[in-house]
């Protein structure tokens, strides 16, 4: 496997991880409190609303 490929993949994984750890704005209470609970499941820590969204990125 070429080394270039491995480097690209690592950069991509880092981006995905950053997005998955980021907090997102809740469409229900408008506060930035949505955190990833598990793959595709996001929950707002302020109003406890659960959302089904992207596996690593919230798409409200
Ligand atoms: Zn909320």
Give this prediction's pTM.
Answer: 0.79
3-52, what's its fold? N-terminal domain of TfIIb (2.20.25)
Q: Which residues surround ligand 1, an ion (CB under 5 A)?
A: 26, 28-29, 44, 46-47
All structural domains of the chain with their residue ranges = 3-52
pLDDT of residue 30: 97
Q: Which of left, alpha, beta for 42 (phi over 0: left; psi -120 to 50: alpha)?
A: beta
46 CA → ligand 1 middle, Å: 5
Q: What is the pLDDT of residue 1?
A: 57
In tens, the pLDDT along 7-58 reads 889 999 999 999 999 999 999 999 999 999 999 999 999 999 999 999 989 9
Task: Give the position of tokens 């609303």.
Answer: 49
Q: 24 alpha carbon to ligand 1 midpoint, in Å?
A: 10
């Amino acid at each position: 496997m070429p080394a270039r490929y491995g480097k690209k993949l690592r950069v991509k994984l880092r981006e995905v991880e950053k997005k998955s750890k980021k907090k997102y704005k809740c469409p229900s209470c408008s506060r930035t409190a949505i955190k990833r609970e598990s793959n595709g499941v996001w929950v707002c820590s302020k109003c406890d609303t659960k959302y089904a969204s992207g596996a690593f990125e919230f798409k409200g």
